[in-house]
Amino acid sequence: MTPSRWIPLLGWLPGYRRDTLARDLLAALIVTLMLVPQSLAYAQLAGLPPEMGLYASLLPLLLYAVFGTSPSLAVGPVAVISLMTASALGGIAAPGSAEYVGASLVLAALSGALLVAMGLLRLGFLANFLSHPVISGFVSASGLLIAVSQLPHLLGIEAAGGNMLERGVALVGSLGELHPATAAIGLGTWGYLLWCRRYLRGGLGRLGLPAMVAELAAKAAPISAVIVSGLLAWRLGLGEHGVALIGEVPGGLPSPALPSLEPGLWSSLASAAALISLVGFVESVSVAQTLAAKRRQRIDPNQELIALGLASVGTGVSGGAPVSGGFSRSVVNFEAGAATPLAGAFTALGIAMATLTLTAPLAFLPTATLAATIIVAVGGLIDLPAIRRTWAYSRADGAAMLATLVLTLAQGLESGILAGVALSVGLHLYRTSRPHSAVVGRVPGSEHFRNVRRHEVETDERLAILRIDESLYFANARYLEDTVMALAARQPGLEHLVLACQAVNIVDASALESLEAINRRLKDAGVALHLAEVKGPVMDRLAATDFCQALEGRIFLSTFDAWQALHGAEACRPVAERQA
């Protein structure tokens, strides 16, 4: 196995060219401008000191550049993971305290270690247990919770609560304490960012700017909001008039240090770390795969687990906050032309320069500006109309999506995502425990077979062909028995029953016992059981058992072969007569 299998950078770095460097540098510059205010905002959302948001955008990006496979994925603090961090640490210590910060580092390191372990064990498939409707419901609920949690910062009031209802009641009760200057800054910034998002791109396009430049300018609007509000706060002395500011931000780069090794703290954060790992991986891989498909590239999900895990471990030892791949930053990185993961490393250098030179001006930045930035950023996460669309297509998926959203809002993030996973698995088991099957007949003059209830087809009262449209395993084995015997009871003249297995990819031990029972019961009833279109891997496993020898009928290469052999008076004599 080549070293590039584990360190993808070794595979593409020898072919790195000057034009590629230029594209990566341009993308890094744009993402750096976008990431500075986002890092500060998401640190605030997580209940951490602002500098930790900047620290989380240093070593993690360098590690992902070495071990990641996506040229466009921008790793760093993201809204949902920041909210999950605050939720996980809220019961351990007061936000911003030394204990809280220490627990955050443990949470980042532990979630990263779990991701690396999953990658080494090639467990990327576990993310499939989170269905898209469940993820959509969870993300929409998280977006609502994030927006509501930032309203007190936006308006300059005190309002807290454990869930959406409690937060809403506290918020309404505190509106009388609204701070006018803070609200003016927060609401003004919010309105400005909304205007930029909706109208700036079109306005710049009408002025003749290229579409990509206009798009990037609109996405970089938070930079101007940070600069203007910070200058106003400094010039007008807003901090002295009750406007909450970020305050002094330590300058310099973080010093690497191991997080706390207290076993009790690690065990108390294990479940939260597992959920953060799973949600962060699903979000990151979804973004990376979407962007890779646009350039006909591919990513390795298991290597992504390792890369994201090492990035999280990196932030745990360098004083940062838990990280993941961000959707908006990754899209900007992609549109700016990032050609390799090295764009992320250049972004880390840009953040390092900002950490060294911009900490003094950042002290005057109002927290209301960051709250407005967060609220606008998470607006794209909230997709409530998706519930109606999903419900119209599949009531089961719609119910799972709605339940995840409601439970997340009412009971918290962990309850919501765990319920979502349980619903996803439960729905899968329910659907596959009642596999779709159809009695098929021959389309006249062809070798094709279709459902007798949907098409005009040829049938034979002594021959039934049952198409099984699902793999056979423990959850549906008994259902298959009931289906076959019900068919035999409905067709008194039945002599041959063929199971068409073109959709069967697995036959587990429980299903094998059911097939053996079906064969015996049909034989006792004077009916021969046959199989058709059994896939090679399935046939290999069946051939290693006694089932094939005990099978009363035959195994046909195709359904048409079975029809030709069994359709007709001579072929369809009763089993007893043929045995005689």
Per residue in 178-225, pLDDT (tens digit) is 999 999 999 999 999 999 888 888 888 888 888 777 877 777 788 889
**DSSP β-ladder status, 463-468 and 449-451:** unpaired
Q: Are 112 and 313 in contact (CB under 8 A)?
A: yes
Tell me which of 57-66, 265-274, 423-432 is least confident: 423-432
375: in domain:
yes
- Tell me the pLDDT tens digit for each residue of 481-529: 999 999 999 998 999 999 999 999 999 999 999 999 999 999 999 999 9
- Asked whether residue 31 falls in the same domain as residue 63, the answer is yes
6: in domain:
no
Integer Cα distance of 259 and 316 in angstroms = 6
Q: Are 91 and 343 in contact (CB under 8 A)?
A: no
Distances in Å between the Cα of 207 and the Cα atoms of 49, 199, 204, 218, 555 are: 41, 13, 5, 14, 71
Tell me which of 42-46, 259-263, 276-280, 571-575 is least confident: 571-575
Per-residue model confidence (pLDDT) at position 576 = 36
Distances in Å between the Cα of 482 and the Cα atoms of 173, 434, 476, 479 are: 60, 11, 10, 5
- Asked whether residue 487 falls in the same domain as residue 354, the answer is no
- Asked whether residue 48 falls in the same domain as residue 171, the answer is yes
Q: List, in order, residues 6 or more apart from 201 with CB less than 8 Å away.
A: 214, 215, 217, 218
Last residue of a domain, one of 427, 451, 481: 427
- Asked whether residue 388 falls in the same domain as residue 504, the answer is no
Last residue of a domain, one of 377, 394, 427: 427
* Domains held by the chain: number: 2
Query: Can you tell me whether residue 296 is helix, strand or coil?
Result: coil
- Asked whether residue 457 falls in the same domain as residue 405, the answer is no
12: in domain:
no
Helices in 269-382 by DSSP H: which ranges? 270-294, 301-317, 327-335, 342-357, 359-362, 367-378
Q: If pLDDT is split at 50, 70 and 90, which confidence band does 313 have?
A: very high
What CATH number corresponds to the domain at position 449? Answer: 3.30.750.24
- Asked whether residue 215 falls in the same domain as residue 300, the answer is yes
278: in domain:
yes
Q: Both tokens of residue 107?
A: 């949470």
Integer Cα distance of 298 and 2 in angstroms = 18
The DSSP string of 453-504 is: TTS--B-BTTEEEEEE-S-B-TTTHHHHHHHHHHHHHH-TT--EEEEE-TT-
- Asked whether residue 299 falls in the same domain as residue 377, the answer is yes
What is the average pLDDT across 389-417?
A: 87
Integer Cα distance of 463 and 556 in angstroms = 14
- Asked whether residue 115 falls in the same domain as residue 254, the answer is yes
Per-residue model confidence (pLDDT) at position 123 = 83
13: in domain:
no
Query: Can you tell me whether residue 263 is helix, strand or coil?
Result: helix
For the chain, how far is it from start to end, CA to CA, in angstroms? 61
- Asked whether residue 223 falls in the same domain as residue 367, the answer is yes
What DSSP element (H or E) covers 74? strand 74-76
Q: List, in order, residues 6 or more apart from 326 with CB less than 8 Å away.
A: 38, 74, 75, 76, 77, 78, 287
- Asked whether residue 345 falls in the same domain as residue 279, the answer is yes
What is the average pLDDT across 319-344?
A: 84
For residue 451, give its domain range: 437-579
Last residue of a domain, one of 380, 405, 427: 427
C-alpha closest to that of 344 among 111, 3, 8, 41: 8
pLDDT at 287 over 90: no
341: in domain:
yes
The radius of gyration computed from the CA coordinates of the chain, to the nearest angstrom, equals 30
5: in domain:
no
Tell me which of 33-42, 108-117, 483-492 is least confident: 33-42
pLDDT at 574 over 60: no
- Asked whether residue 569 falls in the same domain as residue 535, the answer is yes
Please provide the average confidence, as pLDDT, over all residues in the chain: 87
Number of other CB atoms surrounding residue 451 within 10 Å: 14
What DSSP element (H or E) covers 134? helix 132-155
Greatest extent of the chain over all pairs of C-alpha atoms, in Å: 106
- Asked whether residue 308 falls in the same domain as residue 385, the answer is yes
357: in domain:
yes
